[in-house]
Amino acid sequence: MTQTIMPLATSPFADDKLHEECGVFGILGHPDAAAHTALGLHALQHRGQESAGIVSTTGEQFYSHYGLGRVGDNFGKAEVIAELKGPAAIGHNRYSTTGRPEFRNIQPLFADLAFGGLSIAHNGNLTNAVALHTELVQHGSIFRSTSDTEVIIHLMAQSKSASVTDRLVDALRQVEGAYSLVALTEHAMIGVRDPHGVRPLVLGRLEDAYVLTSETVALDIIGADLVRDIQPGEMVLVQNGVVTSFKPFQSVPERFCVFEYIYFARPDSLVQGHSVYEARKAIGAELAREAPCNAQLVVPVPDSGVPAAIGFAAEASLPFELGIIRNHYVGRTFIEPTDQIRHLGVKLKHNANHRLLENKRIVLVDDSIVRGTTSTKIVEMVRSAGATEVHMRIASPPTMHSCFYGVDTPERDALLAAHNDTAQMAKLIGVDSLAFLTIDGLYRAMGESRRNPDAPQYCDACFTGDYPIALSDRDGGGLPAQLSLLTQNSS
């Protein structure tokens, strides 16, 4: 057991969170397909901020536009949207993992295959992409990106099947990992979720058009109705105004990512029929029952800790106040994080509401602790504002393991909880007490039981190390765990 936080070069602009790597959106059958796709991607901006792309089609010709940065930076101009012609479009937001973002990895990817043009947008990560990539290259495939998603396109190109859906099934039967995909051909849109259903994907309807997207907030922004979630292992083909459903994979237990409820999804989304906001409040209430605290005031670490803190305060019958205010206008490109300003640390993003905190025993509620860097600074800030005691309650179990299913996670060594018990973490962060929600408490809050194998189970591997899908690349003798991580780092 070590007593020190692993040294990490942190940017004052970075938060101490795991990050989703992608959001996807597709629409078929609408005259303003590209404009609606840009709006949908805007609603999904929280799922990826480093690049965005849209591919559209008239049925004869494909059009595309890609850019580094946010959706508004790239699709805010009418002339850009006007160039993306046709009644069908798909789009993608990407959060590039470590290393610099690369233009060639911006999705949707596009390729001309034997049956015609194909574009794919992917949320997730393939856990055998490196092995497949190596094999494909040995057999002559030439890759244009370093993205795991391109493996799917090459496998489709090699398939002997006639239809595009059969080719996609052939490809997906060879991959392992997490994927929610939206694909576009000249005349059809396809959506598919991996057999475990790790990442979300929903079907919506807007007039005569169908929409496939990561979260319901992207339906709300364009006024589309939610039809239903795409089921784990389901493929849907949208063509000529008809949705056809297939179940082409062997059935396996569902393991939806529980972190979508804790942090990733927007609180105003419905995920698998559950309100994310209500789920977070229920998690906060369960935390208050499991780890009560003799405090005078509940203060959320904004923004992601807010719903859990509301649930905690209600259950504990304590007042809830916004004792920390977040500046929403700080971007990564605001100013270079030089050493001179690095010491300002978290104050660029958060400021204490002094009058509220003075002479009070505070309980801070946050959704998770990854490295512990932000928590340490926030606790310091709350103490300097005059709090007499600072307690911390975390609305998830300790994050002890890396994610390999499409979430940007530090190496395990950098995770605070991987090397420290709760008492040690409390000391390092500088709080009077610290408690995490237990894994059983998390399932209870979700209305499920982890101990009942017949009840729905989640992927909870970053808390438990119980990975539901094989990590073939990681376990395969020195291969990197995620294709894009290695190539980007080494470039």
Residues that bind ligand SF4 (CB under 6 A): 18, 198, 257-259, 403, 405, 407, 459-462
The smaller minimum CB distance to ligand SF4, of residues 198 and 418, is found at: 198
Measured distance CA(129)–CA(96) in Å, rounded:
17
Would you say 21 or 432 has its CB closer to ligand SF4?
Answer: 21
Tell me the closest approach of the beta carbon of residue 214 to ligand SF4, in angstroms.
Answer: 14
- 399: Cα separation from own chain's centroid: 15
Output the smallest distance, CB 412 to ligand SF4, in A: 12
In 3D space, the residue among 73, 66, 158, 40 whose CA is nearest the CA of residue 119 turns out to be 66
Closest CA to 394 of 304, 278, 460, 473: 304
Question: Are 261 and 339 a contacting pair, CB within 8 Å?
Answer: no
259 vs 436, beta carbon nearer ligand SF4: 259
- For 415, the 3-state DSSP assignment is coil
Instruction: Choose the catalytic residue: 22, 293, 459, 462.
Output: 22
Both tokens of 33, joined, read 């397909």
Residue nearer to ligand SF4 on the CB measure, 18 or 381: 18
Amino acid found at 47: R
CB of 198 to ligand SF4, least distance (A): 5
Residues forming beta bridges with residue 51, ordered by sequence position: 68, 94
Least Å distance, CB 267 to ligand SF4, is 17
CB of 460 to ligand SF4, least distance (A): 5
**In whole angstroms, what is the distance from residue 236 CA to residue 182 CA?**
10
Q: How far apart are CA 436 and CA 370, in angstroms?
A: 12
What is d(CA 340, CA 354) in angstroms, rounded to the nearest whole number? 26
- Of the two residues 209 and 416, which places its CB atom closer to ligand SF4 in the complex? 416
Tell me which H or E stretch contains 171: helix 164-172
**Cβ pair 317, 341 in contact under 8 A:** no
Report the distance separating Cα 88 and Cα 27, nearest Å.
6
Is 257 annotated in the active site?
no
CB of 401 to ligand SF4, least distance (A): 7
| Distance from the Cα of residue 96 to its chain's centroid | 11
Rounded to an integer, what distance in angstroms lies between the CA atom of residue 416 and that of residue 432?
Answer: 18
Whichever of 30 and 371 has its CB closer to ligand SF4, that residue is 371
Indicate which residues carry an active-site annotation.
22
